[in-house]
Amino acid sequence: MAVFTPVEEAEAEPFISRFGLGSLRALTPIAEGVENTNYRLDTDQGRFVLTLFEGRTDEAALPFCLGLTRHAAERGLPCASALVDAGGEAIGRLNGRPAAILDWLPGVAKTEPSLDDQAAAGALLARLHLAAADYPAERANPVGAAARRALFERCDTRAAGADRRILERLAPWVAAHAPDPAAGLPRGPIHADYFPDNLLFEGGAPSGLIDFYFACVDALAYDLAIALSAWGFDATGAPLPAALHAFQSGYEAVRPLSAAERAALPELGAVAAVRFTLTRLHDRLFHDPAALVTPKDPAPFLRRLDWWTGAPLAA
């Protein structure tokens, strides 16, 4: 259950009152998610999400992330806007954590998306890239090359056995001299965590794109590579060719890739696989037994790396 910082109703009420939401009716923990604490917030004015941002979320980046989701919502995408209080502030503090209240979005995430769902998800990602093109704020990738090297070096202090072999496989991709496959490609704001559990569906269509807290400015094709790595493989890390094709086709129906982006996609996919292998390995090696979230196995993303480097995605 993804509640790292418990909140009682009596603790939440003063925070909620700043946003003019009326009386609190219910505060219900939301089990999904692994990064932040989320509660479903029911008041006499409707349903919202109360989020407390935990340690991995950079508080300084919250204005960028919340601003981007508002920017996308204002352009018609199914994204949540953060509420602002009477002083125009969206971010406050609750129980020692930065906190915000966002619109509730309907729908549920799909654990087994159909090919139509894959295409719709790809199209929505492309729409996000187009809608965000004029978003003026900047944020460097929080899991960029330097951060990946730092994760690798920290894992190196504790890894043994099979985990050591994982690091040996990743080493060429985190070396200081490793080339950047995103160099020279079109850039803009990206979601950077476009996994199936961050996209809600209702009535057969996407109804809510959530969790923008890794959002940053980077290569648009890298965001597509992350999404393909998330949507186009099964739980073991084996590729699903029809899903990969449907997602990329949905994306390119809205925003066609350039020849350079298409050529770079396999290496960008490899970088995405390295990122998630490292973060999962780090979380396993440095897991706090008191935490309520079970670390995820890095092996399925290591298998994605093998696929991206051995079988480039067809044009």
The phi-psi region of residue 130 (left if phi > 0; otherwise alpha if psi is between -120 and 50; otherwise beta) is alpha
Q: What is the pLDDT of residue 251?
A: 98
Task: Give per-residue pLDDT as tens, 45-77.
Answer: 999 999 999 877 899 999 999 999 999 999 999
Q: Which residue has the tokens 């995405």?
A: 272
The crossing angle, in degrees rounded to 10, of helices 299-310 and 220-231 is 120
pLDDT at 276: 97
Write out pLDDT tens, residues 205-229: 999 999 999 999 999 999 999 999 9
pLDDT for residue 33: 62
- Run of H or E residues at 73: helix 62-74
Distance CA(115)–CA(244), nearest Å, equals 9
Closest CA to 221 of 175, 252, 179: 252
For the chain, what is the mean pLDDT? 93
pLDDT at 241 over 80: yes
Query: Which pTM value belongs to this model?
Result: 0.94
- For residues 17 and 253, give the distance between their C-alpha atoms in angstroms, rounded to a whole number: 45
CA–CA dist 156, 174 (Å, integer): 12
Share of the chain above pLDDT 90, in %: 88
Q: 10 Å Cβ neighbour count for 202? A: 13
Question: Residue 292: pLDDT above 80?
Answer: no
With 80 as the cut, is the pLDDT of residue 174 above it? yes
**What residue has token string 């799909």?**
110
| pLDDT above 50 (res 313) | no
Cα torsion at 153, 298, 183, 124 (round to 10°)? -140
Q: State yes or no: pLDDT of 32 exceeds 90.
A: no
User: Do 220 and 188 contact (CB within 8 A), yes or no?
Assistant: yes
For the chain, what's the residue count? 315
> Would the pLDDT of 8 be above 80?
yes
Residue 136, sorted as left (phi over 0), alpha (psi -120 to 50) or beta, turns out to be alpha
Q: Taking residues 156-172, report their average pLDDT.
A: 96
- Joined together, the tokens standing for residue 303 give 């298998």
pLDDT at 311 over 70: no
In angstroms, how far is the first alpha carbon of the chain from the final one?
A: 40
Q: Considering only residues 10 and 56, tell me which one the structure prediction assigns the higher pLDDT.
A: 10
Residue 31 scores a pLDDT above 80: no
Average pLDDT over residues 29-49: 89
- Is the predicted pLDDT of residue 126 greater than 90, yes or no? yes
Least confident of 44-58, 100-114, 180-194, 223-237: 44-58
Nearest to 275 by CA among 301, 255, 236, 300: 301
pLDDT score of 2 more than 60:
no
**Which residue reads 């803009």 in tokens?**
188
